[in-house]
Each structure stands twice: as C-alpha cells, then as structure tokens.
Structure 1
Amino acid sequence: MKTLFIGAGSMAHALMSGALKAGVLRSEEVYVTNRANRQRLDEIMHEFCVRRMNRDTPYDVVVLAMKPKDFHEAAESIRPHLSEDTLVISVLAGITLEHISDRLSFNGAIARAMPNTSAALGKSATAVSFNGNLSHSQKVWTKILFESVGMATEVEEEKLDLITALSGSGPAYIYYIAEIMKNAAVELGLEEELAESMVTQTIAGASAMLSESGLEAGELRRNVTSAGGTTEAGISKLEHHQVRDAFFQCITSAKDRSLVLGRELKKQSLKK
C-alpha cells in the first residue's frame, strides 16, 4: 500500500512506528511531508527509512496528520495525490467526514479516527468511523493499522466528539491525577523521587487490574475499600468534594469544545 503521511508530528510518528513494526506498512512504500518543520521531516525519514512525498503522485492511502487548523490550507495541495481508489484516513480532531469530503472535493473512501498519545507505546484506545464508500478490505486494513498501535473500535461518527473527550484527552486526566497525588505525598513528607515512583507504579498496577482481572472498575474499587479503613476515608473526601461530578463536567466540557472547534474550522473554510 503506497501510503502518504501529511504531517510528521507525534501521531504520525506513532502510527508509522507501529505499522512498520507490525508489517502493516513497508518502509519503501511510505512517504511523508511536513510543511512547518523541515528538521522534523528529515528526522522521521531517517529513523524509519521512508521517502519524501512525490509531487502529483496518487497514493493508495493518504493519512491526514497535520494540525486541524492547517487542513484547509493544505487541502488544495492534497487533491493531486488522490485517485478514485485512494483511502483517506484522518486523525484530525473535530473535522467531520463530510467536511473532509467537501474540502478535498473527494467522493471516495474516508475514515476518521481518534487515537491518543499512548499510541507511541502501542497502547492507544482508538475509535474509527467510516463514510459509505469504503470496501470491506479497506475497513479491515484501517482497523489493522490502528490495532498496530493499540486497540481499535468502529463507532458511529456522532460518538467521536465524546470519544475525543474520553480517550483522546483521557491520558491528560490521568497525568493530572498522578501529578496531584505525587504533590500531595511530597507536601506530606515523602521524598519527590519516591513519591513519583510509587504513584507511577500504583497507576500501572491499577491499569493492569482493569485490563486483566475481568472485573469492572466499581467492583475493583469496592474490593479495596474496607469499611472503616484508610481507602474508605480517602474516597469519602473525594465524594465530599464532588470529584465524580467534576469528572462528568470535565468530559462534557471537552466534548463540547470538540464540537465547537469542528464548527469553527468549517466556518473558516467557507470564508476562503
């Protein structure tokens, strides 16, 4: 599959790395371009032994991995690389399948995916949606591509803004919790290095229990929470400070922001 990555940022890097290691892509068939940072382009070409984009050459797959705000400006230069058989894959937050089709003047196969930064370690939780023009083999190949950097699940497009708020932004929420836990431990007298290692391993262990124990989060929590014990005392304070409601609002706000960004980008494109 002759594949062009437009953008050489962290997500393009993670996808290239995972797909090449898994054999989903071959380095001699991968091309890349990056408008803003020539040094970054050279680095990624050297690391993966991939090639610079050929002008006016159609590709089997075009991966849109630039910043969402740069999509409109890049659209015209993307069109020469598309044929009726090209599969376009977007990892651009907030930009709909319909908008991509309209802006590219392209009526072919388009997939829209929302991976997260854990793709760099092969641990992404990716949701992917398709327009009505993909063949069965294109759908299968797209899912295999994203499974090379973690798990991949097909969803209806209207759920992608919520998933952006949940798993797209989700790693930042976990890092925020880790930061708070470490800082609290340090303030209460623990050495910073020890606090950081204990928090990191605690989160890693809890994640493994969630994925490997077969038990739901609520049951795991109850198993740790003895009546009158230390865990119950801590969770009682979280409930008192309405942390549950804070997380609901957090995810709601992130979802709403994704919707707003998508509408703003569409308005900008209509003005041009």
Structure 2
Amino acid sequence: MSQQQYAIQNNITFYGAGSMAEAIVRGLIARSVVLPSNIMMLNRSNAVRLEELQKLYQVKTSNDESAKIGILQSSSVIVLAMKPKDAAAALQQLGPLLSEDQLIVSVIAGLSISTMQRLLGRNQPIARTMPNTSSSIGLGATGISFSTEVTEDQQRIVTTLFEAVGTITIIEEKNMDLLTGISGSGPAYIYYMMEAMIAAGVRGGLTQEQCTELTIQTVLGAARMVQQTGEAPSALRAKVTSPNGSTQAAISVLDEGDFFEDVIAAVNRCSERSREMGAALEEEI
C-alpha cells in the first residue's frame, strides 16, 4: 500500500507510551490510517516498553533526551499521553519548541485547554479528548473539544485519529466532565451489572463459565439491538416486557430499588468527582 492511500500523512508523535497511546496506535495501524513509519512514540525511561512497541507495530520509538527536541519540533501532531502528574513539566518544556501550526492532542484527564495553553505559554491549537478503555479493542467512545485555534484540517486529523478506535462525539469543553460520567467511566457500570448477573446465575446453580458466556452474549446482543434497529432502549425494553410476565417482575424489583435514578445519580457523582479531580490537578500545577 502506498503512503498516498493513508488517511493521515502527517508525522505524529505520542508523548507518552502507556496503554491509551498504544490503543490509539494499534487502531491507526490496524485500519491503515497512518503509516507506521510516520508514528513516533516517546518514553522517558522504559526502553523495554519502547522496544516492545516497536516490534509489535513497527513504529519509531525513542527515550533519548537529546533527540526529543528535534522529534517534537518536526511533528505535525503531538499527542500528550503522559500521566497527569508529569503534564505540567512536559507542557512547559514543550511550549518554546512549538511553531504556531503544530497541533496538540491531549488524552490527559482533567486538564483544561486554557491551562494547557497557559503552561505552553502560547495559544496553541489544542484538541482535548476523553477516550474510554474500550478504545483498546476498537470500540471506544471518545469525546473531543477543540480550542478556537484548531483549523478544519486539524479537526479532520483528530476525528480520523479517534475514529480508528471507535466512535467520536464533538462537545463543548464545559461538558467534558458529564461525558466522563457517561462514557469515560461508563464501561465500569456495565461490568458491575455483569458481575451481578453472573453472581445470580452461580448462586442459582449454573457454572461460572455458563453464567459468564450467557451474560456476555446478552450484553453484546442488547447493545447491538439498540445500534442496529435505531430504536430507543425504552422501546426495545417494552417489547420484551409483557404485562405481569417474568421480565416485568424483574424490572419491578429494579424499580423498587430506584435503579433508574441510582444510575443517573452515579453518572452525576462521577461527573462531579471528575470536576473535583480536574480542579485539584489544575490547582496543583
């Protein structure tokens, strides 16, 4: 395949080489979005990790401090994927190296665009993103907010990057914490529900393996039904809930426990905690 057939031909540097960076890189390469030789992954000290990534994906890697400046200066797109505690120092060092047309893409939770620009010391084009862990298997849901400096071409690059690992939703930055409560932490709510379903089956006499297989397929099927039919979850639920039937009996138990409102409260508390953590991070730096 020639380079002209790749959706993105820019040089992309992942500043940080953790699990989220790897998930994005895996998606980009699996879907032939970016040529592996156009991807650089930087890591401060873990040479073994970088060697593993290079072998798996044929990308370029480096932990050479003397080479880092040149790599960052020559990158059209820089994906900030380091730990939040390392972000301030990295952004302060990065600012003087940048030209005005280089795009910064952040996957750092809790760090606002305005704070990143303050740390950079310039109004750099920035895309703030919130992927979730399902991105690691190409089924992520990513929220994206853009600074006013981001061009249409740069927006296209960002959307293409994250469409390689799932679906995207463009939102105003003020709604990023709410998105965290729905999709950022959302997989954990579903896992918790699955835990309970499996436990019920095991307590009733089925094997752990049987319960796990049944639960996985049920959750997969329900999600696909909503996706493929286009019907609202409430409409699909009504179709399988006969009056005075067994499903209705189960839903009644959930309603007695205020399940619907508990889930809403959980999303809201997650959003609130995300705001609190973001505020603490920004105060710290």
TM-score range, shorter chain: over 0.9
Shift, 1:183, TM fit: 0.9
Q: 2:108 & 2:101 partners in 1: Cα distance?
A: 21
Q: 1:153 & 1:139 partners in 2: Cα distance?
A: 12
**Partner secondary structure for residue 55 of structure 1:** helix
Alignment of 1:48-59 (within 5 A): 48-53=57-62, 54-57=67-70, 58=73, 59=75
Compared CA separation, residues 219 and 246, structure 1 to 2 (3 A) = same
Shift, 1:68, TM fit: 1.8
Question: What TM-score does the superposition give when structure 2 sets the normalisation length?
Answer: 0.90
Shift, 1:124, TM fit: 1.0
Question: Does residue 184 of structure 2 align to residue 177 of structure 1?
Answer: no
Which residue of structure 1 lines up, in the alignment, with residue 6 of structure 2?
none
Q: 1:6 & 1:102 partners in 2: Cα distance?
A: 19
Q: 2:131 & 2:224 partners in 1: Cα distance?
A: 20
Name the amino acid aligned to 1:130: F
Q: 1:129 & 1:15 partners in 2: Cα distance?
A: 18
Question: Does residue 32 of structure 2 align to residue 23 of structure 1?
Answer: yes
Question: Does residue 18 of structure 2 align to residue 43 of structure 1?
Answer: no
Which residue of structure 2 lines up, in the alignment, with residue 3 of structure 1?
12
Most deviating of 229-238 and 64-73: 64-73
Shift, 1:61, TM fit: 0.5
Name the amino acid aligned to 2:229: S
Question: What TM-score does the superposition give when structure 1 sets the normalisation length?
Answer: 0.95
Shift, 1:37, TM fit: 3.7
Alignment of 1:73-88 (within 5 A): 73-79=89-95, 81-88=97-104
Question: Does residue 168 of structure 2 align to residue 144 of structure 1?
Answer: no
Matched positions, count: 269
Name the amino acid aligned to 1:94: G
Give unmatched runs, 5+ long, in structure 1: none
Which residue of structure 1 lines up, in the alignment, with residue 244 of structure 2?
228
Name the amino acid aligned to 1:56: I
The alignment yields a C-alpha RMSD, in angstroms, of 1.4
Name the amino acid aligned to 1:2: N
Deviations 1:146-174 (A, max 9, x none): 11111112111111110011101011111
Most deviating of 49-58 and 157-166: 49-58
Question: Does residue 173 of structure 2 align to residue 157 of structure 1?
Answer: yes
Q: Return the match for 2:84 from 68, 71, 89.
A: 68
Question: Does residue 232 of structure 2 align to residue 216 of structure 1?
Answer: yes
Which residue of structure 2 lines up, in the alignment, with residue 249 of structure 1?
265
Give unmatched runs, 5+ long, in structure 2: 1-9
Q: Return the match for 1:33 from 2, 18, 42.
A: 42
Q: 1:88 & 1:134 partners in 2: Cα distance?
A: 9
Q: 2:45 & 2:96 partners in 1: Cα distance?
A: 20
Question: Does residue 207 of structure 2 align to residue 195 of structure 1?
Answer: no
Q: 2:195 & 2:203 partners in 1: Cα distance?
A: 12
- Contact 2:96–2:120 under 8 Å retained in 1: no
Which residue of structure 1 lines up, in the alignment, with residue 138 of structure 2?
122
Name the amino acid aligned to 2:274: S
- Contact 2:83–2:108 under 8 Å retained in 1: yes
Q: 2:265 & 2:46 partners in 1: Cα distance?
A: 36
Shift, 1:80, TM fit: 5.4
- Contact 1:4–1:30 under 8 Å retained in 2: yes
Shift, 1:79, TM fit: 3.3
Shift, 1:36, TM fit: 5.7
Shift, 1:207, TM fit: 0.8
Q: 1:78 & 1:67 partners in 2: Cα distance?
A: 15
Which residue of structure 2 lines up, in the alignment, with residue 105 of structure 1?
121
Deviations 1:116-145 (A, max 9, x none): 111112111111110000111111111111
Compared CA separation, residues 164 and 257, structure 1 to 2 (3 A) = same
Which residue of structure 1 lines up, in the alignment, with residue 223 of structure 2?
207
Q: 1:253 & 1:69 partners in 2: Cα distance?
A: 23
Shift, 1:82, TM fit: 2.4
Shift, 1:43, TM fit: 1.2
Q: 2:275 & 2:213 partners in 1: Cα distance?
A: 37
Shift, 1:41, TM fit: 2.3
Q: 2:25 & 2:233 partners in 1: Cα distance?
A: 33
Q: 2:79 & 2:148 partners in 1: Cα distance?
A: 18
Most deviating of 151-160 and 21-30: 21-30
